[in-house]
Amino acid sequence: MTIPLSWYLVFAAALFSIGFFTTLSRRNAVAVLMGVELMLNAVNVNLVAFWRYLTPTDMAGQIFVVFVFTVAAAEAAVGLALMISIYRTRKTINIDEITDLKR
């Protein structure tokens, strides 16, 4: 018996929601970044699932996932570097205290 597509979609939606909740609720910037990663990976699951079930002959879904990985890696690198530099100047990475946009 094969696993139907909807299971994957439900799993991906759950993963995305957890990630989004993490992003919204956590005060720690590193945790927020981790939430973003979860959302990206949820999307990846969706992409792979759709590729496998709907268009297995076309490589586009797989390649798109590779792109997302790459961008996510770069984003994590830049994000963490930002966190470090913010921590160095402010001795905190609590994002409630980092409200410089409101000036």
Partner 1 sequence: MSESFFNLTWLIPLPMVLAFFAIILFANPKKRLSSNIAIGAVILSWIMSWAVAISFFINPELTEAPIDLTVPWLPVGSHVFHAGVAVDAVTAGMLFMVGFVLTMIFIYSAGYMTFPGHLDPKKYPDAAKEGLDPRYSRFFAYISLFATGMLGLVIADNLLMLFMFWELMGLCSYLLIGFWFDKSYPDPKQITPKAAGLKAFLTTRVGDVLFMMGLIFLFIHAGDLNFQAIFGNHEFLEELAASKVYLPIFGNVSWAGLIAMLIFWGSIGKSAQFPLHVWLPDAMEGPTPVSALIHAATMVSAGVYLIVRMSPLFAAAAHGGSSVMMFVAFIGAFTALFSATIALAQKDIKKVLAYSTISQLGYMVAALGIGAWVAAVIHLLIHAFFKALLFMGSGSVIHGVHHGHEHAHHAHGHDAHGHEEYFDAQDMFNMGGLLKRMPITGWTFIIGGASLSAFPLITAGFWSKDEILAHAWDGGHMAVFWTLAAAAFLTAFYTFRQIFLTFVGEPRTEAAKHAPENVRAMTWPLVALAFFAIFGGFIAVPHDFPVVGAIASDFLAQLMEMQGEFYHLHVAPAAFNWLPAGISMLLALSGMFAGWLMYGRKPLKAGQPDPLRNWLGPLYDVLENKYYFDELYNFLFIQPAMKLASFAFTFDRCVIDKIVRTVAAFGAWLARSLRRWIDEGIIDRAVNFSGLVTQGFGSVLRLVQTGQAQNYLLIMLLSVVILLLLIPFGG
Find the shortest distance in angstroms from Cβ 102 to partner 1: 3
Cα(93)–Cα(11) distance, integer angstroms: 31
Provide the minimum distance between the beta carbon of 86 and partner 1 in the complex, in angstroms, as a whole number: 13
Q: Minimum Å distance from CB 101 to partner 1?
A: 4
One-letter-per-residue 3-state SS of 81-99: HHHHHHHHHHCCCECCCCC
Whichever of 1 and 101 has its CB closer to partner 1, that residue is 101
Closer Cβ to partner 1, 48 or 92, answer by number: 92
Q: Which is nearer to partner 1, 20 or 53 (CB)?
A: 20
Binding residues vs partner 1 (CB under 8 A):
20, 23-24, 32, 95-96, 99-103
**Cα–Cα distances in angstroms (integers) from residue 55 to residues 29, 42, 59, in the given order:** 38, 19, 8
